[in-house]
A and B are shown apart, each in its own frame.
Chain A
Amino acid sequence: DAGITQSPRHKVTETGTPVTLRCHQTENHRYMYWYRQDPGHGLRLIHYSYGVKDTDKGEVSDGYSVSRSKTEDFLLTLESATSSQTSVYFCAISPGQGANQPQHFGDGTRLSIL
């Protein structure tokens, strides 16, 4: 498996609380991604990063923010969680470098907002 660790693996919290999910990689890959996975949908991109302090929005970025202060860590924050953000969240990494490369995934964080 690619060296990707997501934490926590499971979290239950209440509407309106802030939540931060962490993705840590040991591959020194340039690109990191956050996706959410819901029944009836393919993986949907929330935000991604193409380097330290370089991030961009994906297709479902509303209500989420990200930060990347080190190559190995990519944080996803829900400033004020809502029930619609109940989902399974996956982090992925890729070497990038302009050529098509597969993304490799962590094992996910299951987040429930009550």
Chain B
Amino acid sequence: GENVGLHLPTLSVQEGDNSIINCAYSNSASDYFIWYKQESGKGPQFIIDIRSNMDKRQGQRVTVLLNKTVKHLSLQIAATQPGDSAVYFCAESSLYNTDKLIFGTGTRLQVFP
């Protein structure tokens, strides 16, 4: 929604550069992680997911890295484009509650020409 980004941390990058968006989690039992992209006025859109038995997964122009030791997740976007401008959320679920997701508050990515 339009008001989602009012209090969010913002990452500003130049078109063509790589972007790295970070997310920390606290639950040691978290074993499934998702990144979502949300454009103004739209619902969150699934980008990529990763399970805890992996530490890296690649998609088209995106890579998710998982560091379970420090409970840290990152989303890397290669050759960032203006269309990548949006709010990005991480979400997690645990071994004991596989049907519910816990969402982070998000990071706004702004891409400058």
How many positions in chain B have a CB within 8 Å of any CB in the partner chain?
Answer: 29
Question: Across the interface, do B44 and A39 meet the contact criterion of CB distance under 8 Å?
Answer: no
Question: Across the interface, do A108 and B105 meet the contact criterion of CB distance under 8 Å?
Answer: no
B31 to chain A: which residues have CB within 8 Å? 100
Question: Across the interface, do A110 and B1 meet the contact criterion of CB distance under 8 Å?
Answer: yes
Query: Does A37 reach chain B (CB closer than 8 Å)?
Result: yes
Question: Across the interface, do A98 and B98 meet the contact criterion of CB distance under 8 Å?
Answer: yes
Question: Across the interface, do B3 and A88 meet the contact criterion of CB distance under 8 Å?
Answer: yes
Which residues of A are in contact with B by a Cβ distance under 8 Å? 4, 31, 37-45, 48, 50, 58, 88, 90, 92, 94, 96, 98-100, 102-108, 110
Provide 18 A-B residue pairs closer than 8 Å at the C-beta atoms, listed in order of the A residue.
A4-B43, A31-B99, A38-B3, A39-B7, A40-B6, A42-B104, A42-B106, A43-B44, A45-B100, A58-B100, A88-B1, A90-B44, A100-B51, A100-B98, A102-B46, A106-B43, A107-B41, A108-B1
- For the complex of A and B, 8 pairs with smallest distance between CB atoms: A105-B43, A42-B103, A100-B32, A88-B1, A43-B103, A39-B6, A102-B46, A40-B7
Interface of B is mostly: strand
Query: Does B4 reach chain A (CB closer than 8 Å)?
Result: yes
Say how far A29's CB is from chain B's closest CB, in angstroms: 12
Say how far B36's CB is from chain A's closest CB, in angstroms: 8
A108 to chain B: which residues have CB within 8 Å? 1, 41-43
